[in-house]
Amino acid sequence: MSETVLKLNRITMQFGGLMAVNDFSMDVNRGEVVAIIGPNGAGKTTAFNVITGVYAPTNGSVDFCGETIISNRPQGKMRKLYAGDADSICDRVVRKTPDRITKLGIARTFQNIRLFKSLTVFENVLIAKHMNIKANLFSAAFMLNRHEEHRMRQETAQLLEILELADVADEVASSLPYGKQRRLEIARAIATGPELLLLDEPAAGMNPQETNDLIHLIHRLKQDFQLTVLMIEHHMNLVMEISDRIYVLDFGRLIASGTPDHIQNDKRVIDAYLGVAEDE
Amino acid sequence: MKTLDKKITYLLSAGLLAAAIMVLLYMDHNRTTYNYSLSILQRSAIYAVAAVAMNLLTGFTGLFSLGQAGFMAIGAYTVAILTIPVAQRPSVYYISGIAEPLAQATAPLWAALLLGGLFAALLGFFIGYPVLRLKSDYLAIATLGFSEIIRAFIAAPMLNRVTNGSYGLKSIPGFPSTLMVFLISGLCIFLMVLVIRSSYGRAFQAIREDEIAAESMGIGLFKHKQMAFVISCFFTGISGGMLAVFMRSIDSKTFQIGLTYDILLIVVLGGIGSITGSVLGSFLMTAGREWLRFFDNPLTIAGVQVPLFRTGFRMVIFSLILMAVVLYYRKGLMGTKEFSWNGIYAFLQRLGQKRSKTRPGKEGGNDE
């Protein structure tokens, strides 16, 4: 068994009375492609938001490469309201902001594309290089960091080449066709130099041809950049073809996990997706 | 579309700059005739700095702040207190005298301006802590409040011995040369352009476009917002300092909310997110108000006096023009575009194509 990159430890996320994620534990090993699937509203994106620091979980912790990046226990108002299955286990409270987590090596894309719309494709990717800038404001403004700036631009150009976006580098991001916007989001995430890439429904709205291209792209990127991939996806073909392991969420709870073959034949998963008789 | 060679655009820019300097020198030389126009141009240049500083914040970082007048006041009072000649101070502070350490404190103009900017920036740094956690309109209201607090402090009787309270400060020596205003303003705007074009400027724009995405790209939101806010405050302070030197006498009423609105108007008129737009806007607005003085004088046509032409009517016309501009150029005169020779070239080309399209036979068949 290889090294664990990401470890979710009994994560619970409760919004008021709504239990979005309940006692969810998972781990992702280096070099794996792991998928989280589940019906709409199952809490998949919430889990992503917890991992990336957008939401502080109500309870539980997240470890990345052995370091605890997020940890919380029910506090304040939540102490009374808390209805999660897991006990309050973390006594430390750690809360890194999304930018710190990105710097540690977790990059993500968004379900509803969030590009810097009025900037060019090139600038979109170049911005992701900013976080490692060594020059301070003054030397950057007076262009004393030519070398660094040049390197940033060169890396951006290379990345666009790899992702076949070089021909549209100077176009405004919002003018791109949908598939390319998705690809640009991935490019931007990779530009931050992550170890773990989180993809939130990368194939949403894509036709079969584009989905096929995406499968190849993810495979290629995984090898080129030694990435570990965690993704949320609804396209079952894509999920079954690409993932090493799958976690299935339903109403915030983990109902199954395992290899694609295992998941495909799991009764609870089929029930969750197709609906059980008494559910209707 | 064909674009111009880089060398040509540099040449054109240098030419334009040289022409502007020549015109200014000429006006400066014949000061008796052009004194009035020169003072309008000077005021425009000073407002342009404040407008570009506001644009850096509003147009490029997406933070809508209405604290300009307050930060300008900080700069203005710093400069005024440090540059009024020591000999004249007793006569300026004739009511309650001047506080001891300030009585002898002087600084050359450039140092006073710099210090004014730094004080404004420092204040911005501290105000930034509470207010930059707010978003959009809330930020505007909070900064507006702080700006009023600054003004109230300046006018407070307790500070009479520092700011001379509501009596204001006068006898501020003017600029040693007319061109200095344009030089300092140009330098300030140039520095801001450099910031915007740097990697940090790109990070600011990312925050404007999408905060959540920017944060997930590893851009620390608060740090970068703070940075933009402090830079903006610094240059707003310098602009206020220049305004003090230009007006030669200031009081707390100079820095009422109306000043902020003037700057805001310039930014909106020129285009939120366009630096050249802000510069253009400040010249148009300052000059426009003066050109319209025509409407303030009674007008008689063929023995009949036109009824509406009386003092104050120009502001009605001015407002109407503003409304028309906002209605027809919804994004301001320049939108988010910058002035560029290539833009003009493309515009001329399009004009040429239209011409040839209307003339049948020549290129008429090329319609897509």
- Per the listing, tokens 């209605």 go with B327
pLDDT value of position B357: 61
Predicted structure pTM score: 0.89
Q: Which amino acid is at A40?
A: N
Share of chain A above pLDDT 70, in %: 96
Round to whole Å and give the CA distance between B92 and A242.
80
- A contacts of B234 (beta carbons < 8 Å): none
Task: Flag whether A246 is in a domain.
Answer: yes
Query: Residue B313's closest CA among B334, B327, B301, B299?
Result: B299
- B contacts of A102 (beta carbons < 8 Å): 215-218
Q: Which two tokens stand for residue A179?
A: 């598939």
Mean pLDDT of B76-92: 89
Q: Determine, for residues B227 and A137 on separate chains, whether the beta-carbon distance falls below 8 Å.
A: yes
DSSP B107-122: --HHHHHHHHHHHHHH
Round to whole Å and give the CA distance between A244 and A27.
12
pLDDT value of position B362: 40
pLDDT value of position A89: 67
Q: Which two tokens stand for residue A195?
A: 């170890």
Strand partners, A33: A229
Considering only CB atoms, A116 lies closest to which of B195, B200, B213, namely B213
Round to whole Å and give the CA distance between A147 and A129.
14
pLDDT value of position B229: 95
pLDDT (tens digit, 9 = 90+) per residue, A202-236? 888 888 888 888 899 999 999 889 999 999 988 88
Mean pLDDT of chain A: 87
Please give the span between the terminal C-alpha atoms of chain A, in angstroms, as a whole number. 42
Q: Determine, for residues B212 and A114 on separate chains, whether the beta-carbon distance falls below 8 Å.
A: yes
Q: Tell me the fold of B7-339.
A: ABC transporter involved in vitamin B12 uptake, BtuC (1.10.3470)
DSSP SS3 for A136: coil
Exposure of A90 in the CB half-sphere (CA atoms within 13 A): 24
Inform me whether the C-beta atom of residue A110 falls under 8 Å from chain B C-beta atoms.
yes
Pick from A88-102, A242-256, B169-183: least confident: A88-102
The residue count of chain B comes to: 368
Min CA distance, A121 vs chain B (Å)? 12
Listed as own residue / partner, the contacts of B285-289 with beta carbons closer than 8 Å and 24 or more positions apart are: B285/B44, B285/B47, B286/B40, B286/B43, B286/B44, B286/B47, B287/B40, B287/B41, B287/B44, B288/B318, B288/B321, B289/B314, B289/B318
Considering only CB atoms, A52 lies closest to which of B200, B202, B216, namely B216
Round to whole Å and give the CA distance between A25 and A10.
5
Angle between the N-to-C axes of helices B257-270 and B275-291, in degrees from 0 to 180, rounded to the nearest 10 = 120
Parent domain of A242: 1-105+227-280
Q: Determine, for residues B213 and A114 on separate chains, whether the beta-carbon distance falls below 8 Å.
A: yes
- Residue A112, φ and ψ in degrees, nearest 5: -95, 115
DSSP SS3 for B193: helix
Q: Which two tokens stand for residue A168?
A: 């549209």
Q: Which amino acid is at B123?
A: L
Inform me whether the C-beta atom of residue A56 falls under 8 Å from chain B C-beta atoms.
no
Residue B2 pLDDT exceeds 90: no
Inform me whether the C-beta atom of residue B230 falls under 8 Å from chain A C-beta atoms.
no
Query: Residue B65, class by beta-carbon neighbours within 10 Å (0-12 exposed, 13-18 middle, 19+ buried)?
Result: buried
Considering only CB atoms, A110 lies closest to which of B198, B200, B213, namely B213
- Residue A136, φ and ψ in degrees, nearest 5: -85, 180
Residue A126 confidence class, pLDDT cut points 50, 70, 90: very high
Residue B352 confidence class, pLDDT cut points 50, 70, 90: confident
Q: Determine, for residues B218 and A192 on separate chains, whether the beta-carbon distance falls below 8 Å.
A: yes
Inform me whether the C-beta atom of residue A45 falls under 8 Å from chain B C-beta atoms.
no
**How is residue A193 annotated by DSSP?**
-
Strand partners, B169: B250
pLDDT value of position B116: 95
Round to whole Å and give the CA distance between A139 and A127.
17
Tally the domains of chain A: 1
- B contacts of A135 (beta carbons < 8 Å): 199
pLDDT value of position B366: 36
pLDDT (tens digit, 9 = 90+) per residue, B137-161? 899 999 999 999 999 999 888 888 8
**DSSP H or E segment with residue A11:** strand A4-15
Query: Residue A217's closest CA among A263, A185, A264?
Result: A185
pLDDT value of position B159: 82
DSSP B284-325: HHHHHHHHGGGGGS--EETTEEPTT-STTHHHHHHHHHHHHH
Residue B4 pLDDT exceeds 80: no
Can you say how many angstroms the Cα of residue B205 is from the centroid of all Cα atoms in its chain?
20
Task: Flag whether A87 is in a domain.
Answer: yes
- B contacts of A98 (beta carbons < 8 Å): 212, 215-216
Q: Are A99 and B219 contacting, i.e. CB atoms less than 8 angstroms apart?
A: yes
Residue B365 confidence class, pLDDT cut points 50, 70, 90: very low
Q: B44 CB contacts (<8 Å, ≥6 apart)?
A: B282, B283, B285, B286, B287
- Residue B309, φ and ψ in degrees, nearest 5: -75, 95
The residue count of chain A comes to: 280
- Ramachandran class of A120: left when φ > 0, alpha when ψ lies in -120 to 50, beta otherwise: beta
- A contacts of B216 (beta carbons < 8 Å): 52, 98-99, 102, 107-108, 110, 189
Round to whole Å and give the CA distance between A252 and A236.
20
In chain B, where the domains are located: 7-339
Share of chain A above pLDDT 90, in %: 37
Mean pLDDT of B306-335: 81
Min CA distance, B79 vs chain A (Å)? 24
DSSP SS3 for A22: strand
pLDDT (tens digit, 9 = 90+) per residue, B268-282? 988 888 999 999 999
Pick from A71-85, A153-167, B60-74: least confident: A71-85
Residue B367 confidence class, pLDDT cut points 50, 70, 90: very low
pLDDT value of position B134: 86
Considering only CB atoms, A103 lies closest to which of B212, B218, B231, namely B218
pLDDT (tens digit, 9 = 90+) per residue, B192-251? 999 999 999 999 999 999 999 999 999 999 999 999 999 999 999 999 999 999 999 998
Q: Which ipTM was obtained for this model? A: 0.88
Share of chain B above pLDDT 90, in %: 46
pLDDT value of position A74: 85
Residue A271 sits in a domain whose CATH number is: 3.40.50.300
**How is residue A39 annotated by DSSP?**
S
pLDDT value of position A209: 87
The b-or-e profile of A142-172 (16+ CB within 10 A means b, else e) is eeebeebbeebeebbeebbebbebeebbeeb
Task: Flag whether A88 is in a domain.
Answer: yes
- B contacts of A54 (beta carbons < 8 Å): 212
DSSP SS3 for B226: helix
Query: Residue B198's closest CA among A148, A141, A149, A116?
Result: A141
Among chain B residues, the shortest Cα distance to A55 is held by B212
Residue B364 pLDDT exceeds 70: no
Q: Determine, for residues B217 and A54 on separate chains, whether the beta-carbon distance falls below 8 Å.
A: no
Q: Determine, for residues A99 and B215 on separate chains, whether the beta-carbon distance falls below 8 Å.
A: yes
Residue A280 pLDDT exceeds 70: no
- Residue A266, φ and ψ in degrees, nearest 5: -80, 125
Task: Flag whether A110 is in a domain.
Answer: no
Among chain B residues, the shortest Cα distance to A144 is held by B198
